[in-house]
Amino acid sequence: MTTPSPAPAPATPSTLAPAPASAPDGQSRPAPSGTGYSPRPGGPQGGYQNRGPRPAGGARPGGRPRGRYAPRRRVCSFCVEHVKDIDYKDYERLRRFVSDRAKIEPRRKSGVCAKHQRAMSNAIKRARHLALLPFVPVQTIRSGIRR
């Protein structure tokens, strides 16, 4: 027959929280009572708190639902069309990847994979060299004095 193990001693406030820090004048101050004060930032039990299952749809509690402006995964248009070589003479296609300031759009904006971004960049530079695409933005004439 086994003997029951002794019950653990109940936790006392002195074992749960460290002693309060002493004031500069040497007198100790008690912790604020009734305010839920805890010296640890994670709360009295500290650390991770399991709050149950998360809401469906990726919505955050008290936040805006993600359905309307959820970021969707972009797919490289050249990979979808199985393009092997990006032709520098196809300036209509290349023009989509040049900004209104005549700069080559970065990958995060164009949604092109790294391999096709490098090939597209070279094709745009070749098309610029042959004057198929502009190096500089198109000049607009404003009313007033031209400088």
Please tell me the pTM assigned to this model: 0.49
Domain layout of the chain by residue ranges: 77-129
Task: Identify which has the larger pLDDT, 125 or 60.
Answer: 125
Each residue of 104-129: pLDDT tens digit? 999 999 999 999 999 999 999 999 99
Do 128 and 135 form a contact (C-beta atoms < 8 A)? yes
CA distance 6 to 25: 44
Average of per-residue pLDDT across 12-29 = 58
Mean pLDDT over the full length of the chain: 76
Each residue of 64-114: pLDDT tens digit? 555 666 677 789 999 999 999 999 999 999 999 999 999 999 999 999 999
CA distance 14 to 117: 64
CATH class of segment(s) 77-129: few secondary structures
Confidence of residue 29 (pLDDT cuts 50, 70, 90): low
CA distance 111 to 122: 17
Average of per-residue pLDDT across 28-48 = 60
